[in-house]
Amino acid sequence: MTLAGAGRRLPPPTTMFARAAGLRCPRCGAPSVLRTWLKLRDRCPTCGLALERGEQSDYWLGAYAINLVVAEGFSGVVALLSLWVFWPKTAVPIIVGAVLALTMPIVFFPFSRTLWLAWDLSFRPTEAGDDGSANSTR
Ligand SMILES: [Zn+2]
């Protein structure tokens, strides 16, 4: 496996994705990487991994893409299933689809970010500047 920044060894990608799916740090598994539901800390409070990995403006485009595909895909599938169940009445499927389409991107937002971070770490292991003080969580 790949050696990371300060001599840290990254876990296998399956472990990193499992940790990310539980809203934990993909590298060390620490549970408190969220500052708020919509905001990650700057660094992992346990291992110091930079959760913003250098690219300030476009780093999270992958997370947005994951969020869009998963949240809206889920909403569409549930809306189609409810349309199939309630056919020919369409009011319930329309309401279900609209509510899910509006709420799922917010519900899934932090998961998309941690999953994107795990994906990025799988292909681009920690680099200089990714490690820092474990106490600098701002
Ligand atoms: Zn960590």
Instruction: Report CA(65)–ligand 1 centroid distance (Å).
Output: 24
Instruction: Report CA(90)–ligand 1 centroid distance (Å).
Output: 47
Contacts 24+ apart (CB under 8 A), 81-84: none
The model's pLDDT over 48-98, given as tens digits with 9 standing for 90+, comes to 888 877 666 788 899 999 999 999 999 999 999 999 999 999 999 999 999
Among residues 34, 54, 48, 47, which one has the least CA distance to residue 112? Answer: 34
Instruction: Report CA(76)–ligand 1 centroid distance (Å).
Output: 34
The model's pLDDT over 92-135, given as tens digits with 9 standing for 90+, comes to 999 999 999 999 999 999 999 999 999 999 998 877 767 754 44
- pLDDT at residue 56, rounded to an integer: 66
- pLDDT at residue 127, rounded to an integer: 72
Instruction: Report CA(100)–ligand 1 centroid distance (Å).
Output: 32
Instruction: Report CA(127)–ligand 1 centroid distance (Å).
Output: 14
- Which residue intervals of the chain are DSSP H helices? 13-21, 61-86, 91-123
d(CA 18, CA 63): 16
Whether residue 1 contacts residue 121, with contact meaning beta carbons closer than 8 Å, is answered with no
Instruction: Report CA(31)–ligand 1 centroid distance (Å).
Output: 8
Average pLDDT over residues 21-45: 93
Instruction: Report CA(74)–ligand 1 centroid distance (Å).
Output: 29
- pLDDT at residue 19, rounded to an integer: 97
Dihedral, CA of residue 35, residue 41, residue 46 and residue 47, to nearest 10: 160
Count the alpha carbons within 13 Å of 58 in the hemisphere toward its beta carbon. 0
- pLDDT at residue 135, rounded to an integer: 43
d(CA 21, CA 38): 15
Phi-psi region of 63 (alpha: psi -120 to 50; beta: other; left: phi over 0): alpha
Instruction: Report CA(124)–ligand 1 centroid distance (Å).
Output: 16
